[in-house]
Amino acid sequence: MQIKKLYIFVVLSCILLLSLVSCATTLQPKPERPQLTPKFTEFKLDTTDIQDDPVFLAIRKDLAGKASILELMRFYMKELEKDASPDSPYLRRLAWLFAKGRPVDLQGHYYGLALVLKKGEHRYGGFLNCLWSATLSEASPWDGKIFEPAIEAELTEYTEGWEKGAVPTFMGINCFKEVWGSVWNVLSTEVLTFWLDLKDAPPAEKEKYGYDKKGGLFVAHRAESVYPGNPGKQVLQLNYRWRNLKNSPPLRYLIDELVEIADGLYLGQLLFATDNILKNYDPACPAAGYKYEHFGYFLLMDDEWNKEKSYLLSPGGTQ
């Protein structure tokens, strides 16, 4: 009898929680869309010799009728929820944009949006995105990144003397947001807090940028891509692999790479090592020795783009 009462109590509690979540979601005011200046509609790429490129023509066709490049990225995101297999034309368009994107240096806080998650080039690697889209795509706990100029002592400590700061180098960390309108978000944030040892955001940062926790350190600077699909491509490379960063798996196998595709809008790719992962990361080892595989794309954006993101992701926003 006591077990039955406990069961009923748990069920009723879950129903109440879901009811409160539903109320919290529906009561959110719809944000205003920012004024869409040319910043939101013009690509900024690493070459001008693209006007007759068939992939660029397809991207321009996709953009027709959409108010911003971010709305286009949102369209690709929704299409990839249906099919993120290697044959997807939308993956090819994101790959083309990344290949043509411009290398940058970033400093300060940037908001984030995950576009697609996948497992390399495997035929069924898109299953990862199906799982993501069914649970967290609309309320991802990951909310962006912060970049600050690296201090020499930090570089020496974290990279064991390998990084000398010969090029502009940055220490960075990821931001995470709790969305109480999403049960999946709350649960995943709790798991990530435990697994990645996330720390609470300082009150001033939480008030200004809206994120609740941060963690996942990286060292960033311009370098050649480690991905075989982008040989010789200059990118902003975010390296989580240094052992003194003390990142837990899977972050300790991760390298992010970023390029600029529009003013204040940056396309990133996630690359995970799939070989030699039982040993500590060795910067002297060629990238081919780690067999980096492509696990998806994400965006970083400045404050103005984030207002457009808030509009697009709000209930009743452009679908």
Amino acid at 7: Y
Gap between the terminal Cα atoms of the chain = 49
* Structure confidence at residue 129 (pLDDT): 67
Pairing of β 265-272 and β 254-262:
antiparallel
With beta carbons less than 8 A apart as the criterion, state whether 58 and 97 touch. Answer: no
Give DSSP secondary structure letters for 35-88. Answer: P--GGGT-B--S-STTTT-HHHHHHHHHHTT-SSHHHHHHHHHHHHHH--STT-
Q: d(Cα 53, Cα 145) in Å, to the nearest integer?
A: 33
* Structure confidence at residue 186 (pLDDT): 74
Taking only the tens of pLDDT, the chain with its 319 residues reads 444 333 333 332 333 333 333 333 334 567 889 889 999 999 999 876 788 899 999 999 999 999 999 999 999 999 999 988 889 999 999 999 999 999 999 999 999 999 999 877 766 556 666 765 655 556 778 999 999 999 999 999 999 999 999 999 999 999 999 877 677 677 778 878 888 899 999 999 999 999 999 999 999 999 999 999 999 999 999 999 999 999 999 999 999 999 999 999 999 999 999 999 999 999 999 999 999 999 999 999 999 999 999 999 887 666 5
Q: Of 150, 172, 173, 174, which Cα lies nearest the Cα of 162?
A: 150
* Structure confidence at residue 150 (pLDDT): 97
Q: Is 32 helix (H, G, I), strand (E, B) or coil?
A: coil
Q: To 5 degrees, how large is the angle CA 124–CA 127–CA 132?
A: 160
Half-sphere exposure for 118 (CA within 13 Å, toward CB): 26
With beta carbons less than 8 A apart as the criterion, state whether 245 and 279 touch. Answer: no
Look up the pTM and report it. Answer: 0.88
With beta carbons less than 8 A apart as the criterion, state whether 255 and 238 touch. Answer: yes
Alpha carbon 278 to chain centroid, angstroms: 25
Q: d(Cα 89, Cα 66) in Å, to the nearest integer?
A: 18
